[in-house]
Structure 1
Amino acid sequence: MKNIILLILCLVSLNLNAQDLIKTNDGDIKIHPILHGTLAIEYQNLTIYVDPYGGAKGFKGLNDADLILITDIHGDHLNKNTLNELNTKNSYFIVPEAVAQQMNGIDNAEIEILNNDKSTSFQGIDITAVPMYNLPVDEESRHPKGRGNGYLLNIADKVIYISGDTEDIPEMRALKNIDIAFVCMNLPYTMSIDQASDAILEFKPAIVYPFHFRGQGGLADVEEFKSIVNSENKDIEVRLRNWYPSN
């Protein structure tokens, strides 16, 4: 009995197979928070990985990716060690040009370059690359405008927004009809919880997942983020999940 309990605790600590179900007009979307800015999405027979990072152990129990989206060149987004641990030989990659230039040595079925404001489709899912960048826009920016991508995914009747590493830029604030948003908040790289909550209150996604919230000072206070958002708008569902299972 003791060994069974220890096994259960171990599985929980690794965040294995954790998932949320989002109902659509054509089946469920399964959301798997994995680590930091890394997640997996399952829909029908399709498996999508976003920014695989942290090693293959985080993907245990999931199918190999049919589609892999990468947002930027930094190691917590384009992580070659993790990609080389995973079986990606049949995976279709959609990446910005700066990432494509660094994809040498990664097995893949195909790499499609998709830059800001361009769209494509994959197995019935419409995908649009949207800007992600730091403010002010200058040469010293950690995330210059045009290098990396956020993504909009149209799956059945749902629109999913993945922010990438961004501040509360006008392009994010102008988003409309977002059902599910994954929004970063880690200083000094992206946003504070005040910036992120202010942006969320402007574009009003139905569901928001704070993710990518480990910064120089540790983990951002996502409970406070939730409190700020819901004090102004109780209709926005803030989902707090275990993005840092080893902490």
Structure 2
Amino acid sequence: MKKLLYLLFLVSFLSFGQDQIPAQNGSITIQPILHGTLVVSYQDLTVYVDPYGGANGFAGQQAADLVLITDIHGDHHNQETLDGLDLSQATIIAPQAVAEKLPKDRYKAVVVLANGSSTDFSGAKISAIPMYNLPETVDSRHPKGRGNGYVVELGGKKLYFSGDTEDIPEMRALQGIDVAFVCMNLPYTMDVDQAANAVAEFKPKMVYPYHYRGTEGLNDVEKFKTLVNAEAPSVEVRLRNWYPEN
């Protein structure tokens, strides 16, 4: 029986490709789902980040206690995916532009965070930081103040989720980040060189390139790793498969 349980666990682990980040009183589990979507678990807390790609992508995952949504675009606020999940007991944290699009009475709560504000949830601190395109123009795909990047503090670790952004000063000024998830896809966010240079400046202990599918296909994350390793060898770059169908 023990051998069977171990094999079932091993199959589940290999299927989902989970990473374990050592933290206080346990580990933080990182589960890539698709593009900019992932599941973060710590103790009894399960966080979904930008659920996208359909509810089937979350098969086998614990139900969400908390959902973070960064922006209004369909690969971040994807109502079809949200509707396919049981989020009746989940709290959603989102910017105002997203919150006003969410259906009423379908979630336990909706908490609106603006850039620079923060809230506490089940022992975690969630801070909203800017995410936007450069230069700042009136026709920007991602104007400053509309969407949120997030810094989540839990288990004595600080996790940064960039959302759709370029290498803005607010990202470069981050301090004490343990795990960063950094986007890189033109023409929507930034290129690999910008992302690597920014990461080399704020030096998270670990970085995952994510959200790297652009109009020309998948960006070169191996190049990103090479650039980061050359400029900031102390930063661990973790490459994972965010596009399992490719």
TM-score (norm: length of structure 1): 0.93
CA distance in 2, matches of 1:137, 1:182: 23
Aligned residues of 2:28 and 2:155 also touching (Cα < 8 A): no
Q: Residue 59 of structure 1 aligns to which amino acid in structure 2?
A: F
For residues 165-244 of structure 1, the aligned pairs below 5 Å read: 165-244=164-243
Equivalent residue for 1:157?
156
Partner of 1:99: 98
Identity of aligned residues (%): 58
Supply the RMSD in Å over aligned alpha carbons: 1.5
What CA distance in whole angstroms lies between the structure 2 residues aligned with 1:164 and 1:31?
17
Residue type of the partner of 1:164? G
Structure 1 residue 56: Cα displacement:
1.1
Question: 1:187 and 1:105 mapped to 2: Cα distance?
Answer: 34
2-side partners of 1:210 and 1:45: how far apart?
26
Structure-2 separation of matches of 1:74 and 1:87: 21
The alignment of Structure 1 onto Structure 2 pairs a total of residues equal to 236
Contact 1:16 1:61 (C-alpha < 8 Å) held by counterparts:
no
Q: Counterpart of 2:36? A: 37
Distance (Å, rounded) in 1 between the aligned partners of 2:105 and 2:37: 18
Indicate if the aligned counterparts of 1:84 and 1:106 stay in contact, CA closer than 8 A. Answer: no
Aligned to 1:65: 64
Aligned-partner Cα distance in 2 for 1:170–1:26: 34
Query: By how many angstroms is 1:106 displaced?
Result: 7.2
After superposition, the Cα gap between the structure-2 partners of 1:18 and 1:46, relative to the gap in structure 1 and judged at 3 Å, is same
Cα deviations by residue, 1:162-192 (Å, 9 ceiling, x for unpaired): 0000000000000001000000000000010
What pairs with 1:75-90 in structure 2 (closer than 5 Å)? 75-90=74-89
Contact 2:52 2:76 in 1 (8 A): yes
For residue 17 of structure 1, report the CA deviation from its aligned partner.
2.2
Distance 2:22 2:44 in 1: 15
CA–CA distance in structure 2, aligned partners of residues 194 and 105 of structure 1: 42
Cα distance in 2 between the residues matched to 1:176 and 1:216: 32
Aligned pair in 2 of structure 1 residues 105, 79: CA closer, same or farther (>3 Å)?
Answer: farther
For the residues of structure 2 that align with 1:156 and 1:114, how far apart are their CA atoms?
22
1:87 aligned counterpart, secondary structure: coil
- Shift >3 Å, 4+ stretches: none
Distance in 1 separating the partners of 2:77 and 2:104: 12
Unaligned runs of 5+ residues in structure 1 are 1-10
Counterpart CA distance in 1 for 2:161 and 2:122 is: 19
Give secondary structure in 1 for the equivalent of 2:195. helix
Note the C-alpha offset of 1:105.
5.7
Preserved contact between residue 36 and residue 212 of structure 1 (Cα < 8 Å): yes
